[in-house]
Amino acid sequence: MDNGKSRLEAFSDGVLAIIITIMVLEMKVPNGDDLSALRPLVPVFLSYVLSFIYIGIYWNNHHHMLLLTQRVSGSVLWANLHLLFWVSLIPFATGWMGENHFAVAPTALYGLPLLMAAVAFWLLQRAIMATQGAESLLAIALGHNYRGKLSLVLYAMAIPLAFFQQWIAGAIYALVALMWLVPDRRIERALASQSESHDAGLQNRWHRPRDG
Amino acid sequence: MDNGKSRLEAFSDGVLAIIITIMVLEMKVPNGDDLSALRPLVPVFLSYVLSFIYIGIYWNNHHHMLLLTQRVSGSVLWANLHLLFWVSLIPFATGWMGENHFAVAPTALYGLPLLMAAVAFWLLQRAIMATQGAESLLAIALGHNYRGKLSLVLYAMAIPLAFFQQWIAGAIYALVALMWLVPDRRIERALASQSESHDAGLQNRWHRPRDG
Amino acid sequence: MDNGKSRLEAFSDGVLAIIITIMVLEMKVPNGDDLSALRPLVPVFLSYVLSFIYIGIYWNNHHHMLLLTQRVSGSVLWANLHLLFWVSLIPFATGWMGENHFAVAPTALYGLPLLMAAVAFWLLQRAIMATQGAESLLAIALGHNYRGKLSLVLYAMAIPLAFFQQWIAGAIYALVALMWLVPDRRIERALASQSESHDAGLQNRWHRPRDG
Amino acid sequence: MDNGKSRLEAFSDGVLAIIITIMVLEMKVPNGDDLSALRPLVPVFLSYVLSFIYIGIYWNNHHHMLLLTQRVSGSVLWANLHLLFWVSLIPFATGWMGENHFAVAPTALYGLPLLMAAVAFWLLQRAIMATQGAESLLAIALGHNYRGKLSLVLYAMAIPLAFFQQWIAGAIYALVALMWLVPDRRIERALASQSESHDAGLQNRWHRPRDG
């Protein structure tokens, strides 16, 4: 019955699958036929790995959020397209950073689609919550809150910092990716114990399984 | 049971997802590594944004129309492929317009796949209505009527106008996109109040929710 | 329950959607910004149209055959991949023919993936029939028989004929595409009336609707 | 209900469909218009065939494993992305090997994504088994054991052997592909009779049909 949601998922899956895959096209087949011909590709490869992880994280988070979504509205469809737009710029930013061996400007610019995609993900979350009513989704919205907000702050820091020391920006990008890769439960328990005094009433939700 | 429809959706989602994503491949990674190297890409980026929105609009409208479609026939399959054909030419037209910084001929030509896709969408609508019987789908057909017809007229105007002042054509393309981005309800209520004297019997359908 | 079939369809839809779309990447954005810059693209465009129609036909026929398929086996999966392999070579053949303005060898070679895809489709049909038992699918197998066999013969003729007069091969390719575009019912009724004396017992199936 | 699994399948299908198709883009349209212009493409074509088969095998095995999977967890999602990452490098390795006419280093390197993808497939299998409990999936895990383990050993042998005689590595790659193409039942019966003394209790499962 809720056809709208399944097509939204299918279209998003398609776009994310293409984005994650076309990045590999930036790794142009080198001219030489010995292993040293691969050396200039090392930074391209590293930026591919980083971006693959980022898009994997977006697919993962998108997947979890949609699992808890019952219906989609026109504004959800557009908020979703807005998210896909910024994610679609990651391959370009990846290619520019990789081919210039993590030079200053490309490394700063790499943070921009990441920052905007994080904003877009937050807007999508809000659009879904507006459609659903507050009770069920509010839970995951808050659950992803700490990491989501922290990511925003870190991206916003990384972009200007790249102009001083680009390796700091690179480290921040890697750190944020790592933060999302660590299984939910451990981080969430840690955060929950830290925030106990702050908001005790929400705590028992941390122990609920995520993947229904 | 109605397998035909779900595969039509899946195939269309796939094609539209690829079209919307391969446009970003036109934004070739620049050679320099400072921000000024991005300057020549600005018109390419702008035309990418415009085309992303257009294809988003087509996906959105296709999605809504199919939501109200019960079954598909051979002629619906071909009308759908015909639509996808014209939409598939948008990336080419986008690339030509962007790389030539909105020169006259590319800006005029950009209107051609938009015009033909609008015609193809209208033909698809007719093919679906012929398959379903008139009652349920006639509603959405009429509901999308005003904007659909207006778009056709505006595209047909923009193409010759580009040869006089290409920025007029550009403005028209942006205007049509904007017109479709405004949430249905507001435009529809406005149109409904305008058309009250013209067709009072259809009015109460404007307030029905769209996304089932 | 019959998960195998739906994933086979999803994968095939994905591959066909990509194949039909990447062909447009052969239409490289021209350097000039006036309409005459498009002139060298005309044969590329024409071969794109032809191949778009061919892949549309394959998607359509694949779709209809799978609608009548209940279950898939390992050999069906591989027969399907074999079909997709030959179809995946159509964009290459299209690009070579288009960029060389329908020269002799490229026009001959264009027939090869078409011929092999037709053979592969026939093998897939056989693999599905072996899995299902003969009664239900035999019907469509016979129904598509005339056009399928005729296509094989015509492709096999077009390839050598291209070395004498390449426009004959081109005309044959267009003719076969046209033959598949004509709605099933008309051709089938025509064929049915011709084959009445030959096989009267099967005739009433021609009037059955195809797209359930 | 178990939405997680169907989206995992859809995303994987999308990525694998794109990977299998973009390899054909490495077969660049040649400049000449006679058949001899195709000669330099022969090794590119051969490596395309080999990689097409490999990715077909991965899709096939992925498909079968997921058929027997009831639910997915966060670690399954990441194990799946890890598999797709290594498979996504096959087109690059294919292009390098094909364009250098099976030179030493590219032929050795070609084994690396194959080896890592085989490891990733094994890790995915483990992640799924950890989610499901041991009984149902253990069966297929063991069923694919012999070929999976043998493939790992053969890839690990092929990589260093390529530096002595690259045709040995090429032969091993072709052999492994062939080993997976042979229908399950025959190999499995052969292996089952060999392992009768080793593990008689599991034997009757070899005769069960695979594709439900």
Task: Considering only residues D179 and D68, tell me which one the structure prediction assigns the higher pLDDT.
Answer: D179
| Whole-number pLDDT of residue A120 | 94
* Strands annotated E in chain A: none
| Whole-number pLDDT of residue A40 | 86
Please identify which residue in the block is written with the tokens 């739906």: C6
| Whole-number pLDDT of residue A211 | 40
In tens, the pLDDT along C156-185 reads 999 999 999 888 999 999 999 988 887 655
The whole-number average pLDDT for the span A101-124 is: 92
Asked whether residue D105 carries a pLDDT value surpassing 50, the answer given is yes
DSSP for residue C69: -
Please identify which residue in the block is written with the tokens 């149209």: C49
User: Measured over all CA atoms, what is the biggest interatomic distance in chain B, rounded to whole angstroms?
Assistant: 63
Task: Considering only residues D134 and A24, tell me which one the structure prediction assigns the higher pLDDT.
Answer: A24
Task: Considering only residues A126 and D109, tell me which one the structure prediction assigns the higher pLDDT.
Answer: D109
Q: Chain D contacts of C79, Cβ < 8 Å?
A: none
In tens, the pLDDT along A113-163 reads 999 999 999 899 888 888 776 555 555 555 556 788 889 999 999 999 999
- Give the residue from D74, B30, B118 showing the smallest Cα distance to A181: D74
CA of A164, closest CA in chain D: separation in Å?
A: 32
- Give the residue from D47, A18, D97 showing the smallest Cα distance to C25: A18
Query: Which chains would you list as touching B if contact means 3+ CB atom pairs under 8 Å?
Result: A, C
In tens, the pLDDT along B24-51 reads 888 888 888 888 889 888 888 998 999 9
Q: Using an 8 Å Cβ cutoff, are C94 and C50 in contact?
A: yes
Please identify which residue in the block is written with the tokens 């920052």: A115
| Whole-number pLDDT of residue B12 | 92
Asked whether residue D189 carries a pLDDT value surpassing 70, the answer given is no
Q: Chain C contacts of D52, Cβ < 8 Å?
A: 81, 85, 88
| Whole-number pLDDT of residue C201 | 39
In tens, the pLDDT along C65-76 reads 887 777 788 888
pLDDT-derived band at D3, boundaries 50, 70, 90: low
The whole-number average pLDDT for the span B5-11 is: 86
Task: Considering only residues A72 and A199, tell me which one the structure prediction assigns the higher pLDDT.
Answer: A72
- Give the residue from D89, D109, D90 showing the smallest Cα distance to D100: D109
The whole-number average pLDDT for the span B111-132 is: 89
Give the percent of chain A with pLDDT over 90.
Answer: 33
Residues C8 and D6: their CA atoms lie apart, in Å, by 13
Asked whether residue B200 carries a pLDDT value surpassing 80, the answer given is no
Asked whether residue B210 carries a pLDDT value surpassing 80, the answer given is no
CB atoms within 10 A of CB B132: 18
Judge whether D212 is closer than 8 Å to chain C, CB to CB: yes
For chain D, the 3-state helix, strand and coil shares in percent, each to the nearest 5, are 80, 0, 20
| Whole-number pLDDT of residue C199 | 44
Range of lowest pLDDT (C73-82, C187-196, D145-154): C187-196
User: What backbone phi and psi angles, to 5 degrees, belong to C133?
Assistant: 85, 165
* Crossing angle for the helix pair C166-181 and C42-67, to the nearest 10 degrees: 40
Judge whether B14 is closer than 8 Å to chain C, CB to CB: yes
DSSP character string of C89-143 = THHHHHHHHHHTTS-HHHHHHHHHHHHHHHHHHHHHHHHHHHHH-SHHHHHHHHH
Residues A149 and A119: their CA atoms lie apart, in Å, by 9
The whole-number average pLDDT for the span D138-156 is: 74
pLDDT-derived band at C141, boundaries 50, 70, 90: low
CB atoms within 10 A of CB A160: 11
pTM higher than 0.95 for the full model? no
- Of the residues C1, C5, C6, C11, the best mutation for testing chain D's interface (the one with the most D CB atoms within 10 Å of its CB) is C11
Task: Considering only residues B69 and C155, tell me which one the structure prediction assigns the higher pLDDT.
Answer: C155
Instruction: Tell me the pLDDT of chain A averaged across its residues.
Output: 80
Q: Using an 8 Å Cβ cutoff, are D171 and D164 in contact?
A: no
pLDDT-derived band at B71, boundaries 50, 70, 90: confident
Q: Chain A contacts of B181, Cβ < 8 Å?
A: 78
Residues B149 and B13: their CA atoms lie apart, in Å, by 25
